[in-house]
Amino acid sequence: MLSIHNASKHFGTHAVLKNINLQMNTNSIIGLAGPSGGGKSTLLRSIQQLEVLDSGDITCPEKTGFMFQDFQLFPHMTVLSNLSYAPTVGNKAIDPMLHQKRSLDLLEILGIKEKADYFPHQLSGGQKQRVALARCLMMQPKLLLCDEPTSGLDISSIRDVIGLLNNIHAMGVSMIIASHDLNFLTELADRILLLKDGLILADIEPKKLINPIKNLQSYY
Ligand code: ADP
Ligand code: MG
């Protein structure tokens, strides 16, 4: 569903992605681990075409959705408007009202329908996370790119995120999840890549290892 061939990217003289190659199977969850500055966000942003590669190519025939680390909700819009507005961007012919039902259905699935008329500043971090996830799903992506989805969340909210992402995966959505939280990634991912200094140093299947976290930590 995703094919990356010799992807390279510099910022100035700093090589941030160095000849990255990756083949991703449909219906899988890939975790992107590795130290801060390793290139995780840049790789996700390149897949979403938010960054332009210097060389190499990324082929993804499916629709992708991106969940930003800081959520990037529209602060002046209610939860419901944040959702129903998303599919109308660049498509003025569509009436936002038409999306209200789907928005409310998604808020229900994510357990946050009662906050439909709240503004982002009135929500907790975990609640904003759910809204951001719901807003991504409005675009019906087949591949969801999540950048540090647990950052700033407490342990019980992290458990909720694992449950939510598993539910979304069961709906047929593949994912690439960047996170520094190895416990979180090993619970969710079929496969974990360790990205350090722009190189994939490890590519493991956590369920096949006795101690996947120790294995990954050895590369930091
Ligand atoms: P990670 O998500 O693994 O922490 P990033 O992809 O955010 O890593 O960053 C990789 C490297 O690229 C870091 O050294 C970071 O400072 C640098 N970098 C990221 N974005 C930019 C940018 N827009 N301009 C210059 N340097 C950047
Ligand atoms: Mg990052």
Range of the domain at 113: 78-140
Residue among 9, 10, 11, 66 to mutate when testing ligand 1 (max atoms within 8 A of CB): 11
- CATH number, position 53: 3.40.50.300
pLDDT for 13-55, tens place per residue?
999 999 999 999 999 999 999 999 999 999 999 999 999 999 9
The pTM assigned to this predicted structure is: 0.93
User: Which amino acids bring their CB within 6 angstroms of ligand 1?
Assistant: 11, 16, 34, 36-42
- Do 98 and 146 sit in the same domain of this protein? no
What is the per-residue pLDDT across 136-187, written as a single tens digit (0 to 9) for each? Answer: 998 899 999 999 999 888 898 899 999 999 999 999 999 999 999 999 999 9
3-state secondary structure the chain: CEEEEEEEEEECCEEEEEEEEEEECCCCEEEEECCCCCCHHHHHHHHCCCCCCCEEEEECCCCEEEECCCCCCCCCCCHHHHHHHHHHCCCCCCCHHHHHHHHHHHHHHCCCHHHCCCCHHHCCHHHHHHHHHHHHHCCCCCEEEEECCCCCCCHHHHHHHHHHHHHHHHCCCEEEEECCCHHHHHHHCCEEEEEECCEEEEEECHHHCCCHHHHHHCCC
Residues 126 and 166 in one domain: no
Q: Please name the residue whose Cα sits nearest to atom 14 of ligand 1.
A: 37
Tens of pLDDT, residue by residue over 49-74, are: 999 999 999 999 899 999 998 899 99
Q: Which ligand is nearest to the CA of 196?
A: 1
Question: Structural domain tally of the chain?
Answer: 2
